[in-house]
Structure 1
Amino acid sequence: MALSTISLLLFALFLAIFHLIIVPLKGALVRLRANYNPKGLQLDPEDGVQPHTGPVITSFFVMLSRARRLEGWSGLYKGLMPTLLLSLVLAFFSALFLDASLSGQRNHGAYSPPTSGIWSTLIYSIFLMLVSLPALIVTYRSITTPYRLPYLGPFYSLRVLLTPTELRKPWVLYLTPGLLAAEILYICYVVIGLRALRGLLLPSLSQSDDSQPRDFSPRSFIIYLAISLFSTVILCPLEVISTRLAVQRNHDSAEFNSVAQEEVGDAEDLPEYSPAEDVIGLRNEKDPYLGLVDCAKRIIDEEGWRALYRGWWLTMLFGVFGAFT
């Protein structure tokens, strides 16, 4: 009983420290990738032509500094509550249904997918993605919203972040054009591609038990490391596209956009973090992305191919780290 209490306390401490560090960094990355920065002119709501006046930011650290300057420390922790709740749900889901100890030697206070095989890992990962997809959408929108949402008012916050259509029909979140496809492609590449390749080239790293490791080949390690680094070329655009599609809200009619609905909804009484200047600019939802391919094509046409690689070094860093854990 005492050991169990200590384990829970250690897990709570780990979770608090983890989110204290990761939430501001994640927030800056989401803002950077969601920021709409077209190269040329755009149409205004009356179909006139006007130059884009949003912030031109292409650096992660510049975005982090800008968010701190305009929104303060509280702005850096936007998205904390949905991120924390999702972490708790996934952790206890793993503990209850996957027999994963919160303080086990392999978990170090976290949760991990099953290691019984590629296909079981794929099914688990897709199921976990489906469970967490609405939370991901809410988290990304809470990070990019200009409004000060209450930490302990989840239902009020949802009325601000979601459209009336999404509140009436929550399953519409799964039908966000291209988002589900982008997430599944990402998972399939990581699980079927990288994990299968790791099992082939580096079987000693794929062992799930504590038995004696098999022979380790430096040549195979270098090959796998190079492929993991190159995977950034594929994974980073999928992450950018997922971010853009997650913050794009769903409406019954394309005649309505998020700003118009927020102005007549519950957000009208909420204070803004930075009333004088927005941290980022979002794309007008009157002309939404129609899917994964359409999103990629429009980003390239409107903002240039470099926009698909915002934060690429973070994708590479976490990709290589995850490849060997």
Structure 2
Amino acid sequence: MPHPSFLSPPLPSLRRAHARAAPASPPLCTLPTLSDLTSLGVLTLRPRSTDYKPPPPSARSQLEPELIALVAVSHHPSPSNLSPAYATAAIQRLHPDAVVLELCRFRAPLLNDPPATDTLPPWARLTLRRRLLGTLLASADDDAIAAGAEFRAAAKAAEQVRATLVLGDRPLQHTLSRAWDSLNLRDRFVLAAALARAALAGNTVGHVADEKLKETIESGLDADGVVDKYVRLLGERFPGLRRTLVEERDLYMAWVLKRSRAVSGKKCVVGVVGRAHVDGIVRALEEDDRRRREGEQPLLRFRDIVS
């Protein structure tokens, strides 16, 4: 398996293009406060456990961050998506040492402004952006706007506070390979048919029949657990896909946020991830703490996560 994305230096071309074309950030006073973000369910704060004992200098273990903050964002490319503003507000107010994005090297061109042409095959693009269930629920159509705005905003805010930018998602090729291998022949046929319908209907959600679902997808807010229901439907239709596209990546990103070299010894780390991943990441962090307290084998070990 390839090394984690953060082990490679940032691409200079991405950094230059982003710095040159990024629009000015709104004044800090116009952005939501931390209490606003937590009350909206956008920001989750996970302080390091009070009984945590730092490893000795001679150990190979990494020193865990003092605070992990998760910003739940929507990946839906819509003018009504507030996720870029939420990510900017959290980073500017927390002043983290590192910002972890739900991106890998393969998807890093989304940080360009304007973003580079998406090189994913249509079926992979539709699957990863979770348009599949929108197709299963209704037809679609939305305003055209470049994808990845939440990540570009987070990268710009990270640069302003001099935080290290980390690409913290599992390599895309590995995820897609495991997702396809997890499906039986019938599920592969059903998935192919659903993606074909998605391609014909358009890569959008403007006419989703469930207005509550549409509003949730576009705004990035989890209205009464709609996103949880959305992901649960994926698990019911394609259990293997949920495991590889959501649950395994939750573990990988939790490891990057807590135990990777990129965040070792940091005081504050902000993770900008899709809302569907937040609960799974929090559960992984809590379970890892529990196992440490009870003397069990840690949950978040790199060799286990990539196997």
TM-score w.r.t. length of structure 2: 0.27
Name the larger-Rg structure.
1
Per chain length, whose mean CA-contact separation is higher, i.e. which structure has more relative contact order (CA < 8 Å, sep 6+)? 2
The structure with the greater share of residues assigned to helix is 1
